[in-house]
Amino acid sequence: MFLLGHAGLLVPGYAVLAIVLSAAFLFFLLKRNLKEARPEVAVKDGWLAVEDGVLAVEDGVLAVNKAGVPAAKGVSRREAAFFVLTAVFALAVALLAMTPPSVRDELIHHLAVPRLYVQKGRIFEIPFMGFSYFPMNIDLLYIIPLLLGNDIFARLIHFAFAVLTGLVIYSYLRPRLGRAYAVLGFLLFFSTPVVMNLARTAYVDLGATFFSTLALVGILEWGDGGREGRKDGGKGEKRLFYWSALSMGLAIGAKYNMLISLFLLTFLVVHLSIRKGSAQRLAIRDGFIFFAIAITVFSPWLIRNYVWKGSPFYPMMQAAISKAATEGGGLHFGEALSPIGRRYLLYNESTLDIVLVPLRIFLEGVDNSIEKFDGVLNPFLLIFMALSLFRIQEERDIKYLVVFSVLFSYIALFTADLVIRYILPVFPPLVVMAVRGVRHGMEEKRGMRYASIAALVLLFSFNLFYLGGLYQRYMPLGYITGGESRSGYLSRVLPDYRVVEYANANIPLSSRVLFLFTGDRGYYWERGYFYGDRMGGDIISFVKRAGDAEGLKREFLDTGATHLFILDRLLEKFAGDNFNDNEIRLLSAFFKDSTERLYGANGFSLYRIRQ
């Protein structure tokens, strides 16, 4: 693929093939799990199921089911309520997604990089964008709508991954708990604030979560014996195993932190293989095969980075090893301070605060705040997750879901800033636990049942309130109904868009614009752009080396820049914090004598460097 990319051919077909194969695996799971279900005995809430029997009665509807599945020919009132709620949330989020891209990482990375590929007609190296070296299975999909001139469809692709992940949860719960609880699982996942907020964007987190969840569910089914596999000489089990390994490789190819899932699922494969009766040597072989298939599927991105940078895991592993070797503090990714160090020193958190982070993310999450985990979950989910633990001895899969979720969360905490979307792969397992908790609460005595119903009402009220907040913040209906233009919408939600629009219309096509403290949102720029160190290290070097304004001008021109795009107040603050009086005067002289301010709006300015 990347040899074709280097040859000048734009090839998003790899990503399309990934989706087709994963969709086939999901169809395989749905078909198998809807066809066969685990027999169980229950007499609750007006329905009767007889183990290994043939009779199921739900809300007065009689159905015959050879597998003993508690099912109904019609749709129960409970199911109807869940379907209606699901449709409400899905439609509301879809409308939010049908607005022009305007969220930070869309404009910096996930759409910006594919657009540059489209503009150049091939995949090429972008040295000033460190994240352009990240794996891009999902980002490559966005090339297709960009080629068609429809970036809103890129958002709908990511929206579709939320739906697909909900279907994986549904397929897992349907044979175990019945249709009503399976629909509830879909609804709990999709309506959670962080999922709704991501589903309206062209990010990659929901795609990575879909592939990771598909792999986890497949391995759990494989470990459970593959009910279909028992009837066909083990072929069903083998398909589950290989499909899961393939899905795991696609997950890593969407986001680096899915490597955590790979390591956890590899150990789970070894454990389940031993539990299935395999000798230890054969179990380790199964784990190795799973790992090898996943890495092979992921390998195109490793090859690309090795060809470009000489390091397969660039920039993540190189930066982490360098900091561990030169500064200490352990192996981690991101800033100089380790994630734990940041929480101790910057956020004044105690050891207990850090230990309780997996619980705090449900209670304290706030959008756009790294300190508060940059996302919102639902605190009422904790109630149902706790209820599920009362049957942990009866329902073995809960143990695996708990271990996976806890280990993934803590490993992520120690290796990167803990942002909720970085640990999103733990959320589908937690939803499965929560649904089991709902069922447990509904099957207890009347007081517990009423308390569970009240908690569900509060849970969905919380989600609806958050959804209303998104509408209040972005007001999408004006654009969707045609009452607001695309330019008007973007000018309202993006403070820098008016300057970008001016630059696209007025400066020469050959211009190269250097971004300084603007947030690096490059997607809407139709002129060449680049940026350096976000912390301003380049500017410090330029000013220190330049003896006068003319020398500073040469420093900027040597970078190839013809224009400067600046957030004025941040540059002023940066200069006051990092330069002495003489250096500040030099910087002021440079802007007075060597640049021309072409346009400004909302605190952003565009300058032309005089030649």
pLDDT computed for residue 22 by the predictor: 60
Q: pLDDT: is 347 or 250 the higher one?
A: 250
Q: Annotate 217-255 with DSSP letters as a single string.
A: HHHHHHHTT-TTGGGTTTHHHHHHHHHHHHHHHHHHTT-
- At 236, the pLDDT band (50, 70, 90 cuts) reads low
pLDDT computed for residue 533 by the predictor: 79
- At 322, the pLDDT band (50, 70, 90 cuts) reads very low
Q: Is the pLDDT of residue 146 over 90?
A: yes
Query: Within 13 Å, how many C-alpha atoms sit on residue 458's CB side?
Result: 13
Residue type, 84: V
Q: Using CA atoms, how far apart are residues 246 and 237, in angstroms rounded to an integer? A: 14
Find tokens 């690096």 and name the residue: 520
Find tokens 């009767």 and name the residue: 48
Q: Using CA atoms, how far apart are residues 564 and 376, in angstroms rounded to an integer? A: 36
Contact 151, 106 (CB under 8 A): no
**For the chain, what are the domain ranges?**
2-35+75-473, 494-609
| Mean pLDDT for the chain overall | 83
- At 326, the pLDDT band (50, 70, 90 cuts) reads very low
Query: What would the pLDDT profile of 413-456 be if each residue is shown by its tens digit?
Result: 777 778 899 999 999 999 999 999 999 888 877 788 889 899 99
Query: What would the pLDDT profile of 256-304 be if each residue is shown by its tens digit?
Result: 999 999 999 999 999 999 988 888 999 999 999 999 999 999 999 999 9
Mean pLDDT check: name the lowest of 306-310, 354-358, 578-582.
354-358
Q: Using CA atoms, how far apart are residues 65 and 587, in angstroms rounded to an integer? A: 79
Q: What is the mean pLDDT of residues 40-62?
A: 36
Contact 248, 298 (CB under 8 A): no
In 3D space, the residue among 296, 422, 303 whose CA is nearest the CA of residue 357 turns out to be 422
In 3D space, the residue among 16, 196, 201 whose CA is nearest the CA of residue 107 turns out to be 201
Structure pTM?
Answer: 0.85
Q: What is the mean pLDDT of residues 162-189?
A: 94
pLDDT computed for residue 29 by the predictor: 60
E strand or H helix at 206: helix 205-223
Q: Using CA atoms, how far apart are residues 608 and 285, in angstroms rounded to an integer? A: 62
Helix (H, G, I), strand (E, B) or coil at 564: strand
Q: What is the DSSP letter of 121?
A: T
pLDDT computed for residue 28 by the predictor: 59
The runs of H, that is alpha helices, within 74-150 are 77-97, 104-105, 112-120, 137-147
Computed over its alpha carbons, how large is the radius of gyration of the chain?
27
Q: What is the mean pLDDT of residues 517-521?
A: 92
Q: How far is CA 571 from CA 327, 518, 535, 536, 575, in A?
A: 29, 9, 11, 9, 6
CATH topology of domain 494-609: Rossmann fold (3.40.50)
Q: Using CA atoms, how far apart are residues 194 and 374, in angstroms rounded to an integer? A: 9
- At 333, the pLDDT band (50, 70, 90 cuts) reads very low
pLDDT computed for residue 103 by the predictor: 94
- At 338, the pLDDT band (50, 70, 90 cuts) reads confident
pLDDT computed for residue 276 by the predictor: 85
Range 25-31 contact pairs with CB under 8 angstroms and sequence separation of 24 or more: 25/214, 25/218, 25/243, 25/244, 25/246, 25/247, 26/164, 26/167, 26/168, 26/171, 26/214, 28/239, 28/243, 29/168, 29/171, 29/172, 29/214, 29/217, 29/218, 29/221, 30/167, 30/170, 30/171
Query: What would the pLDDT profile of 105-134 be if each residue is shown by its tens digit?
Result: 999 999 999 999 999 988 999 998 988 999
Q: Strands of 563-567's sheet, edge to edge?
A: 528-531, 512-516, 563-567, 604-609, 595-601
Query: What would the pLDDT profile of 450-489 be if each residue is shown by its tens digit?
Result: 898 999 999 999 999 999 999 999 999 999 999 999 999 9
pLDDT computed for residue 331 by the predictor: 37
Helix (H, G, I), strand (E, B) or coil at 568: helix
Q: pLDDT: is 142 or 20 the higher one?
A: 142
